Amino acid sequence: MSVRSHLSSNLISRTILTAFFFAAAIFVAAPKAAADDCQKRIAKADHRVHEAVEHHGWQSPEADHARRELAEARTYCWDHSHRWWDEDAHRWHTDHDWDDHDHDHDHNHDDHH
């Protein structure tokens, strides 16, 4: 085998090996990036619910809008990762078990009497 042929073969092997490692790194990193995105998305939406209620009241259009955004964020994460982040409990759920009214405990129920 000539030196040139050996170097060419070696270069091709290294290129294939490098491409394989980059592909593996992307494959491993992608789910983590999606999970981080979902966690941030839900945490922000959850925070907006609390802020809207605090500044505008439970039954305000702002609070209603924030609750819809929280539901949309949870749905997005479920659709993309089959799990969703519970900001209040600080844990992931792997069941589609969220309650769109889970922030009702923040509301003073005596207002309805």
Q: At what angle do helices 61-81 and 3-56 cross, to 10 degrees?
A: 150
The residue among 3, 95, 78 whose CA lies nearest residue 41 is 78
pTM, two decimals, is: 0.62
Domain ranges of the chain: 33-112
pLDDT at residue number 113: 35
| Measured distance CA(20)–CA(9) in Å, rounded | 17
The parts of the chain modelled with pLDDT lower than 70 are 1-8, 11, 17-35, 103-113
